[in-house]
Structure 1
Amino acid sequence: MVKFLLLALAFGLVHAYAELEGTWYTTAIAADNVDTIEEEGPLRLYVRELTCSKGCNKLGVTFYVNANGQCSKTTVTGYMQEDGKYRTQFEGDDRFKPVHATPDNIVFISQNVDRAGRTTNLIFVVGKGQPLTPEQYEKLEEFAKEQNIPTENIRNVLATDTCPE
């Protein structure tokens, strides 16, 4: 019976992470250091695809950054750490974790420590290309407060995404 429960739990986790895979678009971003996510900011990422491998112990993230009017495509691989967060290198050291997923949206928390040692705490919301509903935005505001990110630091970025599909 215990083996069955462990198998069910493992299947449930794999299924949950399988929901991460696919085509996604950044809908909203929030950060305590808001300059990092303003237009052409280094952490204003326009996500395109998430891919899982090795039981989702590796999470690939393909995205664009728009700097100086030029969209640069980047793919990073996050490696699952013991604390359940993924770790990768982009604009410094990054740790991120999906904290809520539905078929329409995924919410990630992230922490970036740049090369100068400045720490930025972020929330990324990716979706299927639709803006957040008023109810979803309200939940994002509540979550931002819980993460000590001022609600005025939330940026709806879907409309500013001019990078290629």
Structure 2
Amino acid sequence: MVNFLLLALAFSLAHAHDFAELQGKWYTIAIAADNLKKIEAGGQLRIYIRHLGCNEKCSEMEVTFYVNVNNQCSKTKVTGYLQTDKDYQTQFEGNNRFQPVYITSDKIFFTNTNVDRAGQETNMIVVVGKGNALTPEEHEKLVQFAHEKKIPVENILNILATDTCPE
């Protein structure tokens, strides 16, 4: 947990500068959640990210993605608004609080907490990249984040190959 908090703090300090360089086209590589049903094929939180954007101070982050339900890809764009605790808040299938917690030149790991309309909380990790699968080291980092978020390792889904939605 301490490592996770240190990474979040480090990200917060360099947030706008680092993220501004990483705006653009991204693809969802892996998703993990403590509620597997929400991220399985056809699940309402199985998102296929396409684009990330930030305003000048990164106080607003736009996320463009697809959801594939019943073999029908639906494009969605949400705007996350930076909160005082460094999380972004947006509405999609309920209330979401997300934060980028690990960034490299070609991967970003986000944590997200979704509270649906029924009040059920789902903790998630979404990994996006430039199109390449996770390296063994990145997969180990994902496993570490999953442990910290109390997400079972078997709930980590590599979904890059299942993405059939438009570019």
Mean Cα displacement is larger for which, 14-23 or 98-107? 14-23
1:151 aligns with 2:153: yes
Q: Report SS of the residue matched to 1:16.
A: helix
Q: Deviations over 1:68-107 (max 9, x none)?
A: 1000000000000010000000000000000011111000
Change (3 A) 1:136 1:12: closer
Question: TM-score, normalization: structure 1?
Answer: 0.91
Q: How many residues align?
A: 156
Unaligned runs of 5+ in 2: 1-11
* Correspondences of 1:98-113 after superposition (within 5 Å): 98-113=100-115
Distance 1:47 1:109 in 2: 14
Moved >3 Å (runs of 4+): 10-13
Letter in 2 for 1:155: L
Distance 1:106 1:163 in 2: 20
Distance 1:86 1:23 in 2: 20
Percent identity (aligned): 60
Distance 1:82 1:93 in 2: 16
Equivalent in the alignment of 1:7: none
Q: Report SS of the residue matched to 1:141.
A: helix
1:56 aligns with 2:58: yes
* Correspondences of 1:69-84 after superposition (within 5 Å): 69-84=71-86
Unaligned runs of 5+ in 1: 1-9
Query: Higher Cα Rg: structure 1 or 2?
Result: 1
Distance 2:13 2:150 in 1: 34
How far does residue 143 in structure 1 lie from its aligned partner after superposition? 1.5
1:118 alignment partner, one of 117, 120, 139: 120
